[in-house]
Amino acid sequence: MEIVAMDMKLRGTYIARQLSFSGVTFRIDEIPLSKDFIRIYDESVKLWVDAREKFQQSVVLIDGEPRMKKSMWGQFWSAHQRFFKYMCIASKVDYAVRVAREAVKDGKCVVIGLQSTGEARTLEQLEEAGGELNDFVSTAKGVFQSLVEKHFPAPDRKRIHRLLGLEPIISTPVVETSHFESPSTSSGIKRKPERKARQGSKRYREDKLSDESESEGQDSDFVVSGSSSSEDSNFESLEESDSEDRDSEFNPFGEGSDSDDDPWLSRKSKKGKALKTKKKKKKNNVWTSKAKNKFNGGNHSEPNVPPPPKDAIERACAMKEELLARLESFGAELPPNTLDQLIDELGGPDNVAEMTGRKGRVVSTEDGSVQYESRCESDVPLEILNLTEKQRFMDDEKHIAIISEAASSGISLQSDRRAKNQRRRVHITLELPWSADRAIQQFGRTHRSNQVNAPEYLFLISDLAGERRFASIVAKRLESLGALTHGDRRATESRDLSQFNIDNKYGRAALETVLKSIMGIEIPIIKPPSDYNGDFFEDIREALVGVGLITQDERCPTLLSLDKDYNNMNKFLNRILGIKVELQNRLFKYFSDTLSSIISQAKKAGRFDMGILDLGTSGDQVKRFKCDTFLIKHATGTAKIDLHTVSVERGMAWNQASEIWAELTGTDEGFYVSHLARNEKYTAILAVSNATASRKKDKKEKSEKLYSIYRPNTGLQMRLEPLAELRKKYRKVTPDEAEPHWQSQFDSASLTCSHVYWRGSCRRVTLGLPCDMGLRRRMYHILSGSVLSVWTKVESVLSSMPNGHTAKMQVIRVRTEDGLRIVGSVIPLNCYAPLVNVLAQNCTKTYTEAF
**Measured distance CA(53)–CA(46) in Å, rounded:** 11
The band of 244, judged by pLDDT with boundaries at 50, 70 and 90, is very low
Phi, psi torsion values for 756, nearest 5 degrees: -70, -40
Sign of the dihedral through C-alpha 614, 617, 618, 623: positive
Pairing of strands 612-615, 560-562: unpaired
**Residue 255 backbone phi and psi in degrees, to 5:** -75, 155
**Most distant CA atoms of the chain, gap in Å:** 107
Q: What is the mean pLDDT of residues 331-355?
A: 90
41-61 in b/e form (b: 16+ CB < 10 A) is bbebbebbbebbebbbebbeb
Residue 460's H or E segment, with its range, is strand 456-462
Give the side-chain half-sphere CA count within 13 A for 617.
10
**pLDDT, position 831:** 85
- The percentage of the chain sitting over the pLDDT mark of 70, rounded to a whole number, equals 70
pLDDT at 395: 92
What digits encode the pLDDT tens for the residues 32-82?
899 999 999 999 999 999 999 999 889 888 887 888 888 999 999 999 989
Residue 111 has pLDDT above 90, yes or no: yes
Of the candidates 754, 745, 590, 601, the one whose C-alpha atom is nearest the C-alpha of residue 682 is 745
- 32-41, 89-98, 479-488, 602-611: range with lowest mean pLDDT: 479-488
Crossing angle of helices 35-61 and 581-604, rounded to 10°: 90
How far is 552 from 805, CA to CA, in rounded Å?
A: 42
The more confident residue out of 416 and 774 is: 416
Specify burial of residue 294 (Cβ count, 10 A radius: 0-12, 13-18, 19+): middle
Residues linked to residue 845 through DSSP beta bridges, in sequence order:
631
User: Which residues lie closer than 8 Å to 261 by C-beta, 6 or more apart?
Assistant: none
Confidence grade of residue 332 (pLDDT, cut at 50, 70, 90): confident
pLDDT higher than 60, residue 222 = no
pLDDT of amino acid 473:
56
The pLDDT tens digits of the residues spanning 537-593 come to 999 999 999 998 888 877 777 788 888 888 888 888 888 889 999 999 899 889 988
- SS3 percent helix, strand, coil of the chain, rounded to 5, is 40, 15, 40
The answer, yes or no, to whether residue 347 has pLDDT greater than 80, is yes
Judge whether 33 and 42 are in contact, CB under 8 Å.
Answer: no
pLDDT at 796 over 90: no
Q: Residue 471: pLDDT above 90? A: no
Quick one: pLDDT band at residue 194, thresholds 50, 70, 90? very low
Top-confidence residue, 696 or 599: 599
pLDDT tier, 102 (very low <50, low <70, confident <90, very high otherwise): very high
| Rounded distance between C-alpha atoms, residue 443 and residue 409, angstroms | 10
Amino acid residing at 354: E
- Minimum mean pLDDT range among 169-178, 415-424, 805-814: 169-178
In this structure, what are the phi and psi dihedrals at residue 428, rounded to the nearest 5 degrees? -100, 120
Question: Average of pLDDT values for 298-324?
Answer: 73
Q: What is the pLDDT confidence band of residue 370, given thresholds at 50, 70 and 90? A: confident
CA angle 706/708/710 to nearest 5° reads 150
Q: In the chain, how many H helices and how many E strands?
A: 28, 23
* Cβ–Cβ under 8 Å, residues 469 and 570: yes
* Mean predicted confidence (pLDDT) in 197-216: 40
Which has more confidence, 512 or 193? 512
Q: What pLDDT score does 192 carry?
A: 37
pLDDT at 716 over 70: yes
| Alpha carbon distance 650, 640 (integer Å) | 30
Per mean pLDDT, which range of 302-306, 330-334, 729-733, 801-805 is the poorest?
302-306
Contact between 343 and 402 (Cβ < 8 Å)? yes
What's the predicted TM-score (pTM) here?
A: 0.65
Report which residue type is found at 540: I
> Rg of the Cα trace of the chain?
33
**Quick check: 687 pLDDT over 80?**
yes
List of E strands, 501-573: 550-552, 560-562
Q: Identify residue 479 by its one-letter amino acid code.
A: E
Q: Do residues 631 and 640 make contact, with C-beta atoms less than 8 angstroms apart?
A: yes
Predicted confidence (pLDDT) per residue in 658-669, tens digit: 999 998 888 889
Our CA angle for 227, 233, 238, nearest 5°, is 55
Predicted confidence at residue 43, as pLDDT, reads 94
pLDDT of residue 108: 92
pLDDT of 206 reads 39
**Average pLDDT along the chain:** 75
Q: What is the 3-state secondary structure of 371-417?
A: EEEECCECCECHHHHHHHHHHHHHCCCCCEEEECHHHCCCCCCCCEC
Residue type, 173: P
Neighbours of 736 (CB within 10 A): 8
Single-letter amino acid, residue 523: I
Max mean pLDDT among 40-44, 181-185, 289-293, 635-639 falls in 40-44
Buried b (16+ CB within 10 A) or exposed e, 260-276: beebbebbeeeeeeeee
Alpha helices in 529-580 (DSSP H): 536-546, 569-575
Phi, psi of 811 (to 5 degrees): -80, 135
Tell me which of 205-219, 312-326, 641-655 is least confident: 205-219
Cα separation, 759 vs 774, in Å, equals 13
pLDDT at 147: 92
Structure confidence by residue, pLDDT tens digits, 619-652:
667 888 889 999 888 777 788 889 999 888 878 8
Closest CA to 115 of 500, 494, 474, 581: 474
Mean pLDDT across the stretch 727-738?
92
**Percentage of the chain surpassing pLDDT 90?**
19
Specify the higher pLDDT residue, 809 or 120. Answer: 120
Q: Which of 468-472, 716-720, 785-789, 811-815 has the lowest mean pLDDT?
A: 468-472
Task: Give the model's pLDDT for residue 311.
Answer: 82
Q: How many Å apart are CA 674 and CA 235, to the nearest integer?
A: 86
Question: How does pLDDT run across 399-448, given as a tens digit for each residue?
Answer: 999 998 776 667 888 888 999 999 999 999 888 766 666 777 777 888 88
**Structure confidence at residue 399 (pLDDT):** 93
Q: Which of 49-53, 277-281, 374-378 bottoms out in mean pLDDT, i.e. has the lowest?
A: 277-281
Distance CA 463, CA 458 (A): 16
At residue 165, the pLDDT reads: 59
Is there a contact between 524 and 512 (Cβ–Cβ < 8 Å)?
no
Residue 43 near residue 333, CB atoms below 8 Å: yes
Q: Which residue has the higher pLDDT, 789 or 11?
A: 789
Residues 6+ apart with CB under 8 A from 604: none
CB 809 within 8 A of CB 784: no
Beta bridge partners of residue 846, listed in sequence order:
630
pLDDT exceeds cutoff 80 at 300: no
- 484 — pLDDT class (breaks 50, 70, 90): very low
CA atoms of 87 and 606, how far apart (whole Å)? 42
Say yes or no to pLDDT of 265 above 60.
no
Residue 170's pLDDT is what? 44
Amino acid at 471: A
**Of 418, 426, 429, 421, which is closest to residue 389 (Cα–Cα)?**
421
* Mean pLDDT for the stretch of residues 126-151: 85
Transcribe 83-96 into DSSP letters.
Answer: HHHHHHHHTTHHHH
Sequence length of the chain is: 851
Beta bridge partners, 643, equal 628, 783
Cα–Cα distance for residue pair 327/334, rounded to 1 Å:
10
Torsion of CA 286, 292, 294, 300, to 10 degrees: -90
User: Among residues 504, 426, 501, which one has the least CA distance to residue 470?
Assistant: 501
Q: Are 508 and 501 in contact (CB under 8 A)?
A: no
